[in-house]
Structure 1
Amino acid sequence: MSRSRTTRTTRTTRLAVIAGVAVAATVTAGCSKRTDADSGDGSAEATGKRVSVVVVSGPLSDPFFGAMKSGSDAAGRELNVRTEYLSPTSTDASGPTLAKLMQAAIAKKPDAIVVGDFFPEAQNPEIKAAIKAGIPVVVINSGQTDWKQLGALTFVGLDPSIAGARAGAEMVSRGVQKGLCVNSVPGNPALEQLCQGYIDAIKKGGGTATSLRLPYQDSTNPTKVTQTIAGALQADQGVDGVFTTGAAIAENALTAADNLGRKITIGSGDLSTKALQDVKAGKIAYAIDQQPYLQTYYGVLAAKQYALYGLAPADAVLTGPRVVDQSDAASVLEINQRYQGIRGAS
C-alpha cells in the first residue's frame, strides 16, 4: 500500500474518532440518576464530584490489553476519574471468568462500567444486570453488534467486518489467490466476523479463503500454534496468504512458512514490536491497528460525560482499522519506543 493510501486511511480513522467524540459533547441522552450537574451551581466539576469507573477487560499478560490499561490509567489521570482495571490474573480470559469480573465490578457500585464484551453468551447477562442496577455501561473492543440491544451507552472500537474486509483487500492487492484466516479465540464473535470479512474480501477479489480455528488452550503455545499452521499449509499447497487475528500468531505463521520453505504473504490483526519490525523488514506485509489505548481512554471519557451530564455519543465511536505497512512501520516503532506500550506492542 502506498504512503498516500496510508495517509488517507489515517485521516479517515482520525475523523471517525473525532466525530464520535464530538457527538459525545453535543447529544443528550435521558438520565434518571441524579448527578452533581443537578446541583444548580452550573458546574458539575466545581462540586468536587470525582466519577468512578471500573474497566473490565483482558489479561495484562497480552500487550494488547496492557495498552488498554494504559489508556484507562491515562484517562483517570487526565480526566480526574477514579479508574480501576479488572482482568483475569492469568491467560484465562474465558467467558465465565469475565462474567465473574463483571459481577465484581457491579458489587463496587461505580458510576459506570467500561467492558469488553468478548463472550456475549456469558457476559451479556451481567452487562444487563449492571444496567438494571442503574450502572451505565460502555462496551469497548468487542460487542459492536450487541451494545444497542443491551442498552449500553455506546461502543468504542472497530467494526470487525470492516477490519476483516480491509485485511482481505490488502491481500488481494498483493496478488493473494488463496487465503487462510487463523483465529486464535474461536467463539469470540468479533474475531469470527474479522475472519469472515477477510474471507469475503478475497472471494470478492476472485480468490478463495478459509478459516483455521486454533484451540483456545493452545493459542499461547508457540510450538503448537506453529505446528498447527504448518499442518494447514502442508494440507493445502495453494495457500499463498495467511491473516492472523493476533500479532504473536503472525510470528508463528511466519515461522511455519519459513520452515516449509513457502513464500506466504502474512498479515497481522494486531501490533507487537516484533511484528512491526518484521513489517518494516518486509517479512510481514501489514498489521491492523485498532488502537486499544484509545478504546479505554474514550470509553472512560464517555462514561464520565454521561455520569456528570447525561451526554452520550449517538452511535459507535470507531478507533480502527488503521493499516500499518512497510511505509510507516518505522514511525510506529519510534512512537512505541518513546511511549512504551501505547500502541499495544511489546
Structure 2
Amino acid sequence: MTSLMEKVAVVTIAATMPLVVATSASAEGEKYVLISHAPDSDSWWNTVKNGIALAGEQMDVEVEYRNPPTGDVADMARIIEQAVASGPNGIITTLADFDVLQGPIEDAVASGIDVIIMNTGTPEQAREVGALMYVGQPEYDAGVAAGMRAKDDGVTTFLCVNHAIQQPTVGERCRGFADGLGVELGDSMLDSGTDPSEIKNKVLAYLSSHPETDGILTLGPVSAGPTMQALNENGMAGDLYFGTFDLGDEIVEGIKSGVIQWGIDQQPFLQAYLPVVILTNYHRYGVLPGNNINSGPGFVTADGLTKVEEFAGEYR
C-alpha cells in the first residue's frame, strides 16, 4: 500500500499541498458528494468508491457516494438536485447524458456549489455547465486510440458490445473505435443489455451472422466477461482480436490467458481521488490546476500486469 500512495502523491503533487498539512486547515463540516450514473450491479465502480473514501480520509473531509440503483439517468438528475439541496462544499459528478443532466448541474453551480465533472462527458461540456474542470478519459479520443491500435494489428471489421446504450457518452467509444479503424460504424455497435446470459447469446448470434468479423471491443467488465464466455463457447477464444475498455478480475485473467489483447485503463481511482483533493485545496488555499486532467487512456497488456493484477478491482 505504501508504494501505491507514493505513486498517487507523485501524480497529484502539482495540484495539491502536501497531504500531511491539509488537516491543519480543515474546516468544520467540509463535505463533498460524488454522484455517478452507475447501477448497483456494476462492480467496476468499487474502485471509484475506494478512491473517494481514501481521499476523504487523507484530506480529513466528509465524502459521500451516491448513484441511481438501476443506472437510470433521470433518477441521477434527481439525486443531483437532492445533493444540491443538502448544501455540500462541492459536487463531483459524471455527465453521462448532457441533455438530462445539464440543468441540475448548472443549478448546482448557480447555487454556489463548486462542481467537477469526472469519468464521463468532455472538457468542453464541463466548461459549458460551469464546472471547475474535467477529470477523466475523453471517451471518443480513447476509442480512436483503440481503433488505431487495432488497425495497426490488422483488424478491418469489428463488433462493439455496448452494455450501456442508454448513456450516449459510452457509445462514443464505439464511434471513436470505428473512426480509428477508418470504417463506418454501421450496425457494428450491439445493444447488449446488462444481463450476462443475454450478452453472451447476442454476441454469439452476431458473430454467427457476421462471419467476416475479425475484431471485438467490449466497453467494460459487464460485457467483457459474457463475451469471453461466448468466444469460449464458439471456439473463437484466442483467435478473434479482442480489446476492452476498463479492467477487472475477469479482464485481467483474459489478458493473461491471451483471449484479450489489451484492456484500456482509465484509472477510475484517480477520477474519484483527485477531485476531492483538488476541491479541498481549492477551498482551503485557493489553488486550482489550470488544465483538465486526462486519466487515460492507457493500454494494459500481458507485459504490464504485475501492479494491475495486485490491485485489480480495488485501486486499478
Q: TM-score range by the shorter chain?
A: 0.7 to 0.9
1:159-174 residue pairs with structure 2 within 5 A?
Answer: 159-174=138-153
Q: Counterpart in 2 of 1:157?
A: 136
Q: Which amino acid aligns with 1:240?
A: D
What is the rounded CA distance, in whole Å, between the counterparts of 1:98 and 1:196 in structure 2?
25
Q: Counterpart in 2 of 1:33?
A: none
How many residue pairs get aligned? The number is 300
Q: Which amino acid aligns with 2:222?
A: A
What is the rounded CA distance, in whole Å, between the counterparts of 2:301 and 2:223 in structure 1?
17
Q: What TM-score, normalized to structure 1? A: 0.80
What is the rounded CA distance, in whole Å, between the counterparts of 2:80 and 2:234 in structure 1?
44
Higher relative contact order (CA 8 A, sep 6+): 1
> Is residue 48 of structure 2 the alignment partner of residue 68 of structure 1?
yes
Tell whether the 8 Å contact from 1:250 to 1:275 is kept in structure 2 after alignment: yes
SS in 1 for 2:63: strand
Deviation of 1:225 (Å) = 0.8
**Aligned pair partner of 1:320 in 293, 296, 304:** 296
> Is residue 239 of structure 2 the alignment partner of residue 239 of structure 1?
no
Deviation of 1:305 (Å) = 2.2
1:18-97 residue pairs with structure 2 within 5 A?
Answer: 18=11, 22=14, 45-46=24-25, 48-57=27-36, 58-88=38-68, 90=69, 92-97=70-75
What is the rounded CA distance, in whole Å, between the counterparts of 2:307 and 2:269 in structure 1?
17
* CA offsets 1:272-314 (integer angstroms, 9 cap, x no match): 1011011011111111111111101001112212222333222
Q: Counterpart in 2 of 1:35?
A: none
* CA offsets 1:163-182 (integer angstroms, 9 cap, x no match): 11221123223321212222
> Is residue 152 of structure 2 the alignment partner of residue 179 of structure 1?
no
Q: Counterpart in 1 of 2:172?
A: 193
CA distance 1:109–1:232, shift in 2 (3 Å): same
SS in 1 for 2:14: helix
CA RMSD of aligned residues (A): 2.4
Q: Counterpart in 1 of 2:279?
A: 303
> Is residue 308 of structure 2 the alignment partner of residue 332 of structure 1?
yes
What is the rounded CA distance, in whole Å, between the counterparts of 1:249 and 1:136 in structure 2?
34
> Is residue 88 of structure 2 the alignment partner of residue 110 of structure 1?
yes
CA distance 1:305–1:48, shift in 2 (3 Å): closer
Q: Counterpart in 2 of 1:126?
A: 104
CA distance 1:235–1:21, shift in 2 (3 Å): farther
Tell whether the 8 Å contact from 2:77 to 2:104 is kept in structure 1 after alignment: yes
Greater shift after overlay, 68-77 or 253-262? 253-262
CA distance 1:319–1:230, shift in 2 (3 Å): same
Q: Which amino acid aligns with 2:141?
A: I
Tell whether the 8 Å contact from 1:72 to 1:297 is kept in structure 2 after alignment: yes
Q: Counterpart in 2 of 1:7?
A: none
CA distance 1:114–1:21, shift in 2 (3 Å): farther
CA distance 1:241–1:124, shift in 2 (3 Å): same
What is the rounded CA distance, in whole Å, between the counterparts of 1:237 and 1:48 in structure 2?
62
Greater shift after overlay, 93-102 or 305-314? 305-314
> Is residue 211 of structure 2 the alignment partner of residue 213 of structure 1?
no
What is the rounded CA distance, in whole Å, between the counterparts of 2:194 and 2:256 in structure 1?
25
CA distance 1:48–1:255, shift in 2 (3 Å): closer
Aligned residues: percent identity? 28
What is the rounded CA distance, in whole Å, between the counterparts of 1:199 and 1:124 in structure 2?
28
Unaligned runs of 5+ in 2: 1-6
SS in 2 for 1:22: coil
Moved over 3 A (4+): 43-50, 207-211
What is the rounded CA distance, in whole Å, between the counterparts of 1:47 and 1:163 in structure 2?
37
Tell whether the 8 Å contact from 1:178 to 1:209 is kept in structure 2 after alignment: no
**Aligned pair partner of 2:76 in 81, 98, 116:** 98
SS in 2 for 1:146: helix
What is the rounded CA distance, in whole Å, between the counterparts of 1:195 and 1:62 in structure 2?
20
Tell whether the 8 Å contact from 1:250 to 1:266 is kept in structure 2 after alignment: no
Q: Counterpart in 1 of 2:202?
A: 228
CA distance 1:239–1:104, shift in 2 (3 Å): same
Tell whether the 8 Å contact from 1:147 to 1:154 is kept in structure 2 after alignment: yes
Q: Counterpart in 1 of 2:226?
A: 252
What is the rounded CA distance, in whole Å, between the counterparts of 2:308 and 2:190 in structure 1?
30
What is the rounded CA distance, in whole Å, between the counterparts of 1:149 and 1:110 in structure 2?
21
CA distance 1:65–1:328, shift in 2 (3 Å): same
What is the rounded CA distance, in whole Å, between the counterparts of 2:131 and 2:24 in structure 1?
24
SS in 1 for 2:242: strand
CA distance 1:132–1:208, shift in 2 (3 Å): closer
What is the rounded CA distance, in whole Å, between the counterparts of 1:296 and 1:334 in structure 2?
20
**Aligned pair partner of 2:235 in 250, 255, 261:** 261
What is the rounded CA distance, in whole Å, between the counterparts of 1:208 and 1:288 in structure 2?
22
